[in-house]
Amino acid sequence: MDQTFLNRLDYTEDLEAFYEQGAGYKINYEMAAVLLQDIQSYMKMFISGETNVVGNLRFGHAETTLPLMTLLGSGDRSKLLASWTDNQINSRAFRKLILF
């Protein structure tokens, strides 16, 4: 295995994540709006003193966190293409591993 192969493998994973969980399709991150509304609702209740719960911990996987992070504007939204050259792959802005 050489570095070019590893870079292409990494890109394949990013390409899949971008279109299945990230900014590739609007529905991917719009579905996180319900979660964001719930988080915002808790914060408002805490600020106004309607709850005395100090911590509201949430756990999830990439399938939950990546759409939420995309909705919040994290990560690059430039389209990724399967036909990119090695130079384009190496200089891409969206990298799933950097987001996590």
More confident residue, 81 or 97: 81
> Where are the extended beta strands (E) located within 33-96?
none
Cα 77 to chain centroid distance, Å, stands at 10
d(CA 80, CA 48): 43
Cα torsion for 15, 17, 21, 23, to the nearest 10°? Answer: -40
What pLDDT is attached to residue 54? 86
pTM of the prediction? 0.82
Q: What total number of domains does the chain contain?
A: 1
Q: Which residues span the domain enclosing 43? A: 3-99
At 1, the pLDDT band (50, 70, 90 cuts) reads confident
- Check whether 100 has a pLDDT greater than 70: no
pLDDT in tens, 58-88: 999 989 999 999 999 998 999 999 999 999 9
pLDDT in tens, 3-25: 999 999 999 999 999 999 999 99
- Check whether 26 has a pLDDT greater than 90: yes
d(CA 65, CA 51): 25
